Amino acid sequence: MTSEPELNEANVAAALTTRRLGRTYRYAAELDSTNDQMKRWAAEGAPHGAVWLADFQSAGRGRLDRRWDAPPGTSLLLSVLLRPTDWPAERGAWLTMLAGLAAAEAVEAVAKLPARLKWPNDVLIEHQGQWRKAGGLLLDAALDGDRLATAILGIGLNVNVPADALPDFATPATSLLAAGGQTVSRRALLVALLARLEAHYEAAAAGPSPVAAWSARLLTLGQAVVVSAAGTAAPLLGVAEGVDEWGCLLVRDAAGQVHTIAAGDVTLRGR
């Protein structure tokens, strides 16, 4: 007898506490990429708050055509469709912040492990004294003129990935199991994640920017960093001094000049 999937439609519907997020829900044991499937579903009219979740992705994506790899049945791999009402395009950056906050809060509430964020889209958990990557966020936004039409928020979190199955990435990886030593309920984590995301989204839709709460969780700030930004030839060395309203990283170089980085990768120096 095969056991019933923990994250199938019926099991998730019975546990959800949200008003809209996850109320329309699709589960797949395996697919290519939840973000890619969600794009198709959005084009077919999926409503605000729809969630597509998979137990395994054969072509999970990071930014810039990088891969997101997770062994079957160990992780949270999902995409949330948001259809913001009258949001200016620049606010797209807020959505990655909201997802980062929600993911960190859900990890802390359910797994009881401290969580931080690394600019722009990593979720970090402390593992043997080192902050390691336990999750990543991928925003695919579509515009209608100068307004956001749809935003697909891809969220990958390493939950019960055994330590010896963690891939060897440039940024050291961990999972909640590897860091905390205990199996974590993926359903409880999903329910908490969607509840936090809904609360943050509704608060942001009503006005205030999430940037202060987000930057308070950013491990990157105050650190010496090396930034590889899209479109720049040489990496930038400096100190990450802060973020602006739209989530751009402000890096002061040795000559005292402040650079505003909209997209790129950051390595914390000396780590």
Contact footprint for ligand BT5 (CB under 6 A): 33-35, 57, 60-64, 66-70, 77-79, 121-122, 133, 136-138, 154-156, 158, 169-170, 173
Can you tell me the distance from the alpha carbon of 199 to that of 183, in angstroms, rounded to the nearest whole number?
26
Our CB check for ligand BT5 shows the closer of 154 and 210 to be 154
Q: How far is the CB of 12 from ligand BT5 (least distance, A)?
A: 16
Q: Which run of H or of E encompasses 229?
A: strand 224-229
Can you tell me the distance from the alpha carbon of 150 to that of 121, in angstroms, rounded to the nearest whole number?
19
Query: Which 3 state secondary structure label does DSSP give 196?
Result: helix
- What is the 8-class DSSP label of residue 111? H
Task: Transcribe 59-89 into DSSP letters.
Answer: S-B-GGG-B----TTSEEEEEEEE--SS-BG
Q: Which residue is nearest to ligand BT5 (CB)?
A: 136
Our CB check for ligand BT5 shows the closer of 66 and 86 to be 66
195's torsion region: left (phi>0), alpha (psi -120 to 50) or beta? Answer: alpha
Q: How far is the CB of 66 from ligand BT5 (least distance, A)?
A: 4
Query: Which 3 state secondary structure label does DSSP give 108?
Result: helix
Q: How far is the CB of 175 from ligand BT5 (least distance, A)?
A: 8
Q: Which run of H or of E encompasses 236?
A: strand 236-243
Q: How far is the CB of 121 from ligand BT5 (least distance, A)?
A: 5
Q: How far is the CB of 254 from ligand BT5 (least distance, A)?
A: 27
Our CB check for ligand BT5 shows the closer of 64 and 234 to be 64
- CB-side neighbour CA atoms (13 Å) of 157: 32
Can you tell me the distance from the alpha carbon of 71 to that of 65, in angstroms, rounded to the nearest whole number?
19
Our CB check for ligand BT5 shows the closer of 64 and 206 to be 64
Return the bridge partners of 126, or none.
131
Our CB check for ligand BT5 shows the closer of 49 and 154 to be 154
Burial of residue 256 (number of CB atoms within 10 Å: 0-12, 13-18, 19+)? exposed
Q: How far is the CB of 233 from ligand BT5 (least distance, A)?
A: 20
Our CB check for ligand BT5 shows the closer of 252 and 267 to be 267
Q: How far is the CB of 224 from ligand BT5 (least distance, A)?
A: 20
Our CB check for ligand BT5 shows the closer of 153 and 191 to be 153
